[in-house]
């Protein structure tokens, strides 16, 4: 499975989280230049992760349209790996494969992520 990550500068933790979930190829575009909004989605992209803290509205709208046109699922998440993990769970992503393909943007549910993040690192 191939994932395109849009936005952000340091995405090593996000890449690590995606690799641990079975993603085989990750492409990262930092989207710093204005002309980056004119790029086309790679044909090999099976999923698009948009880090919304680092994307302009124009870039988000452009890539949402591109992804819908190509029937590629979209994940809108903040820069933390927890919100990306929650959004991946919501689209049925497991072991490098997607469940039902959804083309509407998926964001992590606040209550689910808050509960999960509170329990990370706690001893039972």
Q: What are the tens digits of pLDDT across the range 78-122?
A: 877 888 877 777 777 766 566 555 555 555 555 555 555 445 444
Tokens representing 102 are: 């959804």
pLDDT of residue 121: 44
Number of compact structural domains in the chain: 1
Q: Give SS3 for 39.
A: coil
pLDDT average, residue stretch 43-69: 90
Residue 75 lies in a domain: yes
- Phi first, then psi, for residue 42 (nearest 5°) are -65, 145
Q: How many Cα neighbours within 13 Å face the side chain of 3? A: 25
CATH (domain of 37) = 3.40.50
**Using CA atoms, how far apart are residues 77 and 107, in angstroms rounded to an integer?**
6
Residue 124 lies in a domain: no
Range of the domain at 94: 2-119
**Using CA atoms, how far apart are residues 75 and 108, in angstroms rounded to an integer?**
9
- Phi first, then psi, for residue 17 (nearest 5°) are -65, -40
Q: CA distances (Å), 106 to each of 50, 75, 123, in order?
A: 10, 5, 31
- Share of residues in the chain with pLDDT > 70 (%): 74
């Amino acid at each position: 499975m191939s994932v395109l990550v849009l936005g952000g500068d340091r995405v090593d933790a996000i890449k690590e989280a995606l690799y641990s979930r079975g993603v085989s190829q990750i492409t990262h575009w930092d989207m710093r230049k204005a002309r980056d909004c004119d790029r086309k989605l790679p044909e090999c992209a099976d999923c698009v992760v948009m880090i919304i803290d680092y994307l302009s509205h124009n870039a988000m709208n452009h890539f949402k349209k591109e992804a819908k046109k190509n029937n590629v699922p979209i994940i809108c998440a903040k820069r933390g790996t927890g919100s990306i993990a929650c959004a991946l769970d919501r689209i049925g992503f497991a072991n490098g494969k997607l469940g039902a393909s959804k083309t509407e943007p998926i964001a992590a549910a606040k209550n689910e992520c808050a509960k999960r993040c509170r329990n990370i690192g706690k001893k039972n």
